[in-house]
């Protein structure tokens, strides 16, 4: 039994889709969430900057004595995970590994599509993750830089979103993938528009759900919490009010408790 | 005569549209440009954070001994200008004042529209600027949060952009404005899509052109440079390569010389 919290970070709100999945599967766990809203987005930035930001995010979470760090951000998971594991002496898990395993299990025709931010696609993290498990699988990647701003502005299934989905997915659809990884924690909010365009025959992999399933296994029974129900504390580097307001959309329930602003440049 | 450089900063690339206008009007001036690409965008962030970032950007420019600071960012000009003038002992100019003067001169029917980021509209900077000159003028503001990501992803006049322009401008067009301020230095790249939608009868105010005209006056003849032609140095807080590549689109000429990355969190 280990009643310490699980630390979760993301560039902003997207990681709350992971919190939702973790809370559903492991309701007894306390979560400390950090959203780096003062420096978001990560997906358009360079590898060095994403690593520097991820390290300070983890230092902040460790100041809350967490038992594990969850990188609930497709970009940081893709670019910074292995460096962070070398830097910090705490179990760290990202969204890529579990999603790759799920995609390999799901595909029948051996063709998998990956949607991610510019930085994620540049890193080829999902491509490598899938090849490491089964190098017979063909992987088609596509950067979708407008998806995050669309989600952040409430364009979930509008005409604008449908046009952008068409622009980004036309090629990948033509390549005949039967499995599609939504490689960024913002993208589940576009799942309807994406799956409508791709059609019924395509399995959509939501990285947050796969991540949540893997956490229990990684922690091990001895390190799970034992209490009636867990609580979640939220910290951001900017705009605590906006986070409290919009967060509910990602979490699919109201954000309970206070959202506190901290100065991340100090970590 | 004063051969020190003019310092210019923006959250990223947008301010290069101001550099273009300044170089055209004052070709003898050297410019030190800082684009805060590691922390962009500013337009979605809170007042406190925008002030904190602006102050560090100015401290960086002052480390290059500039004779003047130009805030070539609609958001920072709207939110931080008066605080920055109190904090620093150097002439500081933003994009709001000159644009308001130009709009007041241009309007015939006394109805002016303002497009800006979420933070700019929340600050009501243009509204106050225009009222201070002529409080008989009606001002209609509209936040356009998807315009910056559209520009940054090369969507200048696509179907997606036209749909978003329609979404954001329908109301303001209905209000019958005859003058429209593009209150963010990214927006001139959408001018074609915007002016096509608004129609011929509407005067578009480009904040960068107005800003450039005011700089000579503010500096005064004694403080202008005297050399054959000026040069421009570029600094960013992330992705120097991307800046060099995309910058040409904003500048309408190739970025000459090196773009250097600096650590802005030290300033």
Q: pLDDT tens digits, residue range A108-141?
A: 999 999 999 999 999 999 999 999 999 999 999 9
A contact test, residue of B11, B39, B43, B79 with most A CBs within 10 A: B39
Residues of chain A contacting residue B150, judged by C-beta atoms under 8 Å apart: 146
- Say if residues A56 and A38 touch (Cβ distance below 8 Å): no
> Who contacts A128 (Cβ-Cβ below 8 Å, separation ≥6)?
none
Structure tokens at A113: 């599509």
Mean pLDDT of B173-197: 97
pLDDT of residue A210: 93
- pTM of the entire structure? 0.94
d(CA A155, CA A57): 28
**pLDDT greater than 90 at residue B202:** yes
The segments of chain A whose pLDDT lies below 70 read: none
Please list the active-site residues of B: 73, 184
Considering all CA atoms of chain B, what is the largest pairwise distance in Å, rounded to the nearest integer?
50
Read off the pLDDT of each residue in B101-116 and give the average, rounded to a whole number. 98
Query: What number of H helices and E strands is found in chain A?
Result: 11, 10
Cβ of A24 under 8 Å from any chain B Cβ? no
- Residues in chain A with CB shorter than 8 Å from the CB of B245 are none
Fold classified for B6-94+210-266: Rossmann fold (3.40.50)
pLDDT for the residue A258: 87
Q: Which of A100, A144, A184, A208 is catalytic?
A: A184
Q: How confident is the model at residue B13 (pLDDT cuts 50, 70, 90)?
A: very high
Kindly indicate whether the domain formed by A96-209 is annotated with CATH number 3.40.50.1860.
yes
How far is Cα A217 from Cα A223, in angstroms, rounded to an integer? 10
Three state DSSP letters for chain B: CCCCCEEEEECCCCCHHHHHHHHHHCCCCCEEEEECCCCCCCCCCCHHHHHHHHHHHHHHHHCCCCCEEEECCHHHHHHHHHHHHHHCCCCEECCHHHHHHHHHHHCCCCEEEEEECHHHHHHCHHHHHHHHHCCCCEEEEEECCCHHHHHHCCCCCCHHHHHHHHHHHHHHHHCCCCEEEECCCCHHHHHHHHHHHHCCCCEEEEHHHHHHHHHHHHHCHHHCCCCCCCCEEEEECCCHHHHHHHHHHHHCCCCCCCEEECCHHHC
**Is there a catalytic annotation at residue A184?**
yes
Mean predicted confidence (pLDDT) in B5-17 = 96
Q: CB distance from B142 to chain A under 8 Å?
A: no
Give me chain B's average pLDDT, please: 96
pLDDT recorded at residue A151: 94
Q: Give residue A257's pLDDT.
A: 79
pLDDT tens across B219-251, in order?
999 999 999 999 999 999 999 999 998 899 999
Q: Which residues of A touch B239 (CB under 8 A)?
A: 45-46, 49
What is the per-residue pLDDT for B256? 79
Q: What residue spans in chain A does CATH classification 3.40.50.1860 cover?
A: 6-94+210-266, 96-209
State whether ipTM is beyond 0.90: yes
d(CA A139, CA A165): 19
Of B49, B149, B238, the CB nearest to A45: B238
Phi, psi of B38 (to 5 degrees): -75, -20
- Report the C-alpha gap between A84 and A103 in whole angstroms: 25
* Residue B123 near residue B73, CB atoms below 8 Å: no
Model confidence at B207, pLDDT cuts 50, 70, 90, reads very high
Label residue B143 by pLDDT band (50, 70, 90). Answer: very high
B-chain CB neighbours of A49 within 8 Å are 38, 237-239
CB pairs under 8 A between A and B: 57
Q: B45 touching A, CB under 8 A?
A: yes
């Amino acid at each position: 039994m280990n009643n310490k919290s699980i630390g979760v970070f993301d560039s902003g709100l997207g990681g709350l889709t992971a919190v939702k999945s973790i809370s559903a599967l492991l309701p007894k766990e306390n979560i400390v969430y950090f959203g780096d809203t003062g420096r978001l987005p990560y997906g358009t930035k360079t590898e060095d900057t994403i690593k520097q930001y991820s390290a300070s995010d983890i230092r902040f979470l460790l100041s809350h004595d967490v038992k594990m760090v969850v990188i609930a951000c497709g970009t940081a998971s893709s670019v910074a995970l292995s460096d962070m594991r070398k830097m910090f002496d705490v179990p760290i898990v990202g969204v890529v590994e579990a999603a790759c395993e799920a995609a390999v299990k799901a595909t029948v025709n051996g063709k998998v599509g990956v949607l991610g931010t510019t930085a994620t696609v540049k890193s080829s993290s999902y491509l490598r993750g899938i090849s490491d498990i089964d190098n017979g699988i063909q992987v088609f990647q596509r950067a979708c830089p407008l998806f995050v701003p669309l989600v952040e502005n409430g364009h979930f299934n509008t005409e604008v979103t449908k046009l952008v989905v068409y622009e980004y997915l036309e090629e990948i659809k033509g390549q005949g993938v039967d499995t599609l990884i939504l490689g960024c924690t913002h993208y589940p909010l576009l799942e309807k528009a994406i799956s409508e365009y791709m059609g019924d025959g395509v399995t959509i992999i939501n990285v947050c759900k796969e991540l949540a399933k893997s956490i229990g296994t990684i922690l091990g029974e001895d390190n799970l919490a034992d209490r009636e129900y867990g609580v979640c504390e939220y910290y951001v580097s900017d705009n605590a009010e906006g986070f409290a307001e919009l967060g509910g959309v990602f979490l699919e329930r109201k954000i309970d408790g206070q959202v506190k602003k901290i100065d991340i440049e100090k970590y």
